[in-house]
Structures are given as structure tokens and as C-alpha cells.
Structure 1
Amino acid sequence: MNKNCTAIITARKGSKGLPGKNVRLLNGKPLVWYTVNAAIESRVFSNVLISTDCEQVASIGQELGGKVVWRPASLSGDSARSEDTVEHALRAFDCVGHYCLLQPTSPLRTSNHIRGAWNKYLNGEFDSLVSVIECDHSPFKTLVEADGGVKPIIEKSMLSAPRQELPRAFRINGALYFGKVGLFIEEASFFTGHLGVFEMDVNSSIDIDSDHDMANAEYLLESKQ
């Protein structure tokens, strides 16, 4: 266990897309259970903080060994920013050293993923590190709206370039964010200084935002068993 890294699990009561999703049952357990359990089992963290406004979430977290940070109404609505919620939790416990944001919408992110990302973050001497998956389609071949029309997101030559000649590109999957507490507080950003990535597979990267996502996650968990 590292004495200088704090896990922060953000699990509010409301959700516009999937009401009550953090306590919905997934393969017999509440959704938030998977993230709290993975954080505890990883043995990476000195503290596992659950930032919530929900009594049920708080109870689940405490039963597994986490500590509750009660978030105010100003951080509990649909417009609340993750950066503000994480800062509130870090300040509530006077955290120093490193932090890791773990969102409960990534239930297939395991303790092994957490340990692997933590080791890469430390060994690579990164200031921050995020989990990613490789993009299915190269973003360099993307058009964006501009000036009443469209234009290449980077440059026109990339639109017709062979894929193998383009740089690998990654999409942030939302499962893991490691960083230094001081830099995060200073810049109010998860992407500070020397940024690293921890690549995950597609199935482990599932992000729960709908009933369809819940059904997919249920199927994948049952398949593992």
C-alpha cells in the first residue's frame, strides 16, 4: 500500500440518463460496489474516499472500508464538474501526494488495472496519467464544422493518408485518472505536466450510461464467471 495516494470515487445520487444508476444492481451487486471493491483490493491507496450525497452509496462504501465525503448541493447537480468534486474531497481530508479518480460507471476496471496504471504512473515519472483505449477510427481523418462549412481537424493531407502512416490515437475511457494533488489543485485539471496513458481493452472500458450498457456489462461479468 502507498501512504501517499488517495482514491476518490464520485458517486452522486442523481443521474439524468439512468436514474439511480450508482446503486442499480449489476450481476447482483450495486454498480458502485465494483469500483469501491477494486480500489480496496488494489492496496494502492492510503484512503478510499466516496464523494456522495446518497445514504445508500455511503453505506456500501463504508461496509467495504471506504470513507465518505458528503458533497454539498452545489456539487450534486447535473452541471457539477468532476474537477470541483475531486478538489472538494481532497481539501476535506487535507490530502497530499497523489490522487486517483475512479468513476463508478467503469465497473469492469479491476484492481489489476489500478495497480498496473499506478506502477506505470510512478515508473514513468508522469505528473498525470489517464486510462485510454485505441480509437476505432483515426481522428486525423475527421472533419469539424467551421465558418459555415467543414474543415479537417488537423490538416487536409491526413484525410487521404494511409492509416498506418498516421500516429496511434487514443480515446479517454473514464476509468482511471492519476495525478499529483498539488498540480491538480493549482491547475484544476486532470491533465497536468508530463501526461501518460494506460491502455485498456474495449470490454474492460465499458462506461455505464444506459440500460443497454448495463446489459452489456452484465453479460461480460457473467461470461467471466
Structure 2
Amino acid sequence: MVKKFKYLPIIPARAGSQRLAGKNMRLLGGMPLIGHSISFAKANSLRNIVVTTNDAEVSNYAQQEGVGVIERPDHLAGDREPTITAVQHALEQQEQEYNAIILLQPTNPLRPKNLLQKALKEFEEGNYDSLMTVSKSDKKLGRIVNNSFIPFNYEIGQRSQDMEPLYYENGLLYIIKTEVIKEGKILGEKNCPFFVNHPFAEIDIDTLTDFKKAEAYLKADFE
């Protein structure tokens, strides 16, 4: 595929994870967690890959991998700081102009091999402002109110196959026009929910349990 746009791949990897200390450099299949996103970007022939981080260990690793590093200021690296501010900061540091950014989160290290090329094709042909990957949820969800379970997306006794289809944001990939980023948004008005039906979409690492699940999925060698 010949890309119409010039893309900047950004990998955000701040220090200080509260639930899984040092997770960005924790080895998954013999490679640091962040290395999987770097490897995915390289495998898809992406250029000018940058990691935005306030973690010296992550910075050193990224440089060893030949990847650009943006030193993220501490005020943009807090627990409650949204990803958009780090992406905006990284974009502001670039000397070149880009049409869109490709956001690869280290916490989603496992991605289908052909994901990016299919997503870019959809993004460009549909002339979208942004693209996010989603997957279908078959779970019967509800609320607990006054110690009672109140179904949310189904009725008691309803078969799963008869439920209205619902989808969740899986975090595997985001593509966003730079004009949207400059407006302080991650998703634009014309946003593409790009459906991904793959076991890797279940992996989003925040805890040790998530990490162990990722190890198992990596060993399973899903196509």
C-alpha cells in the first residue's frame, strides 16, 4: 500500500506505574514490553518512530533500538495525566510536518501482523479524522444497586446470541490526524471504529495477572 499521508508513530511510556512497577521494561517473551511496540512499528516499515517518556531506562533502550526519544516533562507524566498531552508535546518537538500520528501503547504489546496495513487503508480511503480499534463484547453486564444486580445490556434469561452487539475500545491502535491532536482531542468528529476479531485484542497490561495472560497468549502463537 502506498500511503497518502506522512505519519508519525508515537509510543507513550511514562515511568511510575502504580499497579505493575517498571512494566514498560518488564520482559515479555525475552523482550521489554515497550520493545514489542517498537518492533511492530519497524516491521511495518514506519519511520521516525518516537518514544515519549520520563523513564531513563526506557529512554536508553529506545535509543539503543535506533528510535527517537522525547523527554516528557514531569508535569505531563502524572498518574491522572491524559495521553493527549504527551502526544501533543511529542508532536510539538518535531521539525517536520506530519498529516497524522500512529499511537502505539506499550500496554497492548501483541497485535495481529496485518493490522496496521488494513487500518491505514480504511483510514485513508474513508478520509477519517481518526481511527480506533474495537472488539465485540459478549459479556452480560449489569450494575449492583442496593445489593441487587440490575442487568444493563440484556434481560435475565436472554441468550447471548440474541443480545444487541456491543463493542469495547481495545487500545491496540489509534490513527489520528495532527489537526485533531492540536485541538486537544484523541478522536475526531469523523472517527472510524475499526473492528478487530483476534485474541490479542484481549491483552491490555495493567496488572501482573494481565502480564501473565500476555505471556500465555504469546506462547500460543496465534495467527
TM-score normalized with structure 2 length = 0.84
Gaps of 5+ in 2: none
Give the AA of the match of 1:93. Q
Which residue, 126, 130, 148 being the options, matches 1:128? 130
Aligned residues: 216
Gaps of 5+ in 1: none
- The structure with more helix, counted as a fraction of residues: 1
Write out per-residue CA displacement over residues 131-182 of structure 1, whole angstroms, 9 at most, x where no aligned residue. Answer: 111012367xx5597xxx999879xxx7588766765321001111111101
State the alpha-carbon separation in 1 of the partners of residues 127 and 159 from structure 2: 33
The alignment's C-alpha RMSD in Å is 2.7
Tell me the residue number matched to 2:50: 49
8 A contact 2:140–2:151 mirrored in 1: no
State the alpha-carbon separation in 1 of the partners of residues 75 and 149 from structure 2: 38
Give the AA of the match of 1:175. L
8 A contact 1:6–1:47 mirrored in 2: yes
Tell me the residue number matched to 2:173: 176
Indicate how the Cα distance of structure 1 residues 163 and 212 shifts in structure 2: closer, same or farther if over 3 A, else same. closer
* TM superposition shift of 1:111: 4.5
1:40 aligns with 2:48: no
Indicate how the Cα distance of structure 1 residues 110 and 52 shifts in structure 2: closer, same or farther if over 3 A, else same. farther
Tell me the residue number matched to 2:103: 101
8 A contact 2:143–2:151 mirrored in 1: yes
Tell me the residue number matched to 1:9: 11
1:65-76 alignment to 2 at 5 Å?
65-76=66-77
1:134 alignment partner, SS class: strand
State the alpha-carbon separation in 2 of the partners of residues 84 and 111 from structure 1: 29
1:83-162 alignment to 2 at 5 Å?
83-94=84-95, 95-137=97-139, 142=142
Give the AA of the match of 1:31. L
Which residue, 182, 185, 198 being the options, matches 1:185? 182
8 A contact 2:138–2:165 mirrored in 1: no
1:23 aligns with 2:25: yes
Tell me the residue number matched to 2:78: 77
State the alpha-carbon separation in 2 of the partners of residues 209 and 152 from structure 1: 27
